[in-house]
Amino acid sequence: MDSIIIQGGRPLSGTVEVSGAKNAALPLLAAGILADGPMIYHRIPHLRDITTMMTLLANQGADVSMDDKGRVRVDTSTSHLPEAPYELVKTMRASALVLGPLLARFGHARVSLPGGCAIGARPMDMHLKGLEAMGAEIRVEQGYVVAKTKGKLQGARIVFGTVTVTGTENLMMAAALADGETILENAAREPEVVNLADSLRQMGADIKGDGSGCICIRGVDRLNGAEVSVIADRIEAATYLAAGLITGGEVTVKHVDPGMLDAFLARVAEAGASVETGESWVRCSASERLQGVNIRTSPHPGFPTDLQAQFMALMCIASGSSVISETIFENRFMHVQELRRMGANIVLNGNAAVVDGIETLSGAPVMATDLRASASLVLAGLAATGETTISRVYHIDRGYERIEEKLRALGASIERITPTPELLRSPSLATS
């Protein structure tokens, strides 16, 4: 398993081109199942999760290719196997996003339940209840969701008990080809949901209200292929802005709509950062040490749970204390024990972490546990004095395209090491 080695304490400055959003690209690729013709995708990021989704579609019989300009083409006219096997789903739970489209297209589907996840139980009950409300017959057999419909899915009014991003996306896709009107209430308002709705409309879907808590989908008979573009990855963008702030530098991220970062920018500004924005760029810097501020994660437009770990890294060396409350997932503080190894002063109390800022973190060997926890360890390593080695970086590769390259271009001393058999025999790496 690869590791990343960082020599910390160097201010990072410069400009980063933001990649396409993983969490927008995944549902967009799944939507290709609904299309009568080929889909062309612009700005699909090169990430492990994307490769997994493309493999999933190819396994179903789709023709999936990427040209030398990075455009992805998906033609599902040859798809014939409406399945998502455990071997793939266990590596990426967002594979569940194919369930709604497969059911709407084929009338039956067999999709593995994702199984456990580091950050929480992450059940799919709302996805399944919504499909049942639309007339699907759902059974769970040997770890698989086996779903079928007699004829087309039927429009329904669905009220989500809690906001679910992929639940909203799954049911919006299923409803696009259903008979009649579907209303999704307490729906997710994330920009990635709007990107999907925009793309479905380009394919011929009749969808209104996306971006608000109530989405109305009127089913149509068919959806055609379309050429669509993935929005910028707001989580990646904020992570690089945080890299500039935590090292006392100045980073600009470009090709991103600043409006998607409002909650994050408001909090870093409150902490004393200077924030400048343009039509498609954002710059952050801090002339002084940041002040501790409190955050509480919540569905968009609130503070994103996917930035909680990165913000905690910032607060570890802020002046004063901060309370970081995680309300979305029940186990999303696994970065805490690793940050403590670097000297951070953090006390956990239920779903709240109380961080008492210290002057500097110290480099140490640490272990990545999940995608966004890994990002917070990278940030901490960039700020720390001395060397930080982060093991199990495959977590990072799921959500950050070319992270070492982008950070090195900002002035970071960072390298990836792939253990050779000799290295593996050395005690320090043997456990990584």
Residues that bind ligand EPZ (CB under 6 A): 23, 26, 94, 120-127, 162, 164-167, 305-306, 328-329, 371-372, 399
The CB-of-169 to ligand EPZ minimum distance in angstroms stands at 7
Nearer to ligand EPZ, 127 or 283 (CB): 127
The CB-of-372 to ligand EPZ minimum distance in angstroms stands at 5
The CB-of-126 to ligand EPZ minimum distance in angstroms stands at 3
Nearer to ligand EPZ, 95 or 252 (CB): 95
8 A C-beta contact, residue 242 and residue 313: yes
Assign 3-class secondary structure to the chain: CCEEEEECCCCCEEEEECCECHHHHHHHHHHHHHECCCEEEECCCCCHHHHHHHHHHHHCCCEEEECCCCCEEEEHHHCCCCEECHHHHCCCHHHHHHHHHHHHHHCEEEEECCCCECCECCCCHHHHHHHHHCCCEEEEECCEEEEECCCCCECCEEECCCCCHHHHHHHHHHHHCCECEEEEECCCCCHHHHHHHHHHHHCCCEEECECECEEEEECCCCECCCEEECCECHHHHHHHHHHHHHCCCEEEEECCCHHHHHHHHHHHHHCCCEEEECCCEEEEECCCCCECCCEEECCCCCECHHHHHHHHHHHHCCECEEEEECCCCCCCCCHHHHHHHCCCCEEEECCEEEEECCCCCECCEEECCCHHHHHHHHHHHHHCECEEEEECCHHHHCCCCCHHHHHHCCCCEEEEECCCHHHHHCHHHHCC
Nearer to ligand EPZ, 26 or 246 (CB): 26
Nearer to ligand EPZ, 120 or 320 (CB): 120
The CB-of-97 to ligand EPZ minimum distance in angstroms stands at 7
Nearer to ligand EPZ, 83 or 169 (CB): 169
Contacts of 14 (CB under 8 A, 6+ apart): 251, 252, 409, 410, 411
Active site (annotated) includes residue 284: no
- Give the residue among 315, 306, 261, 303 at the shortest CA–CA distance from 284: 261
Nearer to ligand EPZ, 252 or 305 (CB): 305
The CB-of-89 to ligand EPZ minimum distance in angstroms stands at 13
The CB-of-325 to ligand EPZ minimum distance in angstroms stands at 14
Nearer to ligand EPZ, 62 or 124 (CB): 124
The CB-of-274 to ligand EPZ minimum distance in angstroms stands at 28
Catalytic residue among 117, 216, 284, 316: 117
Query: Which residues carry out catalysis?
Result: 117
